[in-house]
């Protein structure tokens, strides 16, 4: 991975474009980092703008849940928490009365 300033990149663009074929190249400008990406297609503006890329789902995708499932689980957890809290309070009250 190579990180260069905008001044260095401007002075040696060809060098860094060639490097981007084999490694990651980033241009740092202020607090931002710009990733130089090399695509091995016969690029025209139309190809790049209209290109559709399919990304294979990863393990995180298969482990994900819907918002409805999240809502159901959180609701069940909150219900269980209140039930345990009330049981503990009733146990504490009954032991203090005796």
- Write out pLDDT tens, residues 29-51: 999 999 888 766 555 666 556 66
Going from the C-alpha of 91 to that of each of 45, 77, 83, the distances in angstroms are 72, 21, 12
pLDDT-based confidence at residue 57 (cuts at 50, 70, 90)? confident
pLDDT surpassing 90 at residue 14: yes
Q: Say which CATH class 1-39 falls into.
A: alpha beta
């Amino acid at each position: 991975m190579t990180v260069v300033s905008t001044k260095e990149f401007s002075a040696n663009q060809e060098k860094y474009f060639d490097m981007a074929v084999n490694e990651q190249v980033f241009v740092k400008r202020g607090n931002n980092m710009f990733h130089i990406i090399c695509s091995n297609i016969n690029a025209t503006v139309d190809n790049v703008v209209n290109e559709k890329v399919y990304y294979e789902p990863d393990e995180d995708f298969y482990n994900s849940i819907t918002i409805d499932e999240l809502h159901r689980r959180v609701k069940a957890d909150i219900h269980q928490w209140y039930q345990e809290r009330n049981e503990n309070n009733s146990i504490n009250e009954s032991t203090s009365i005796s």
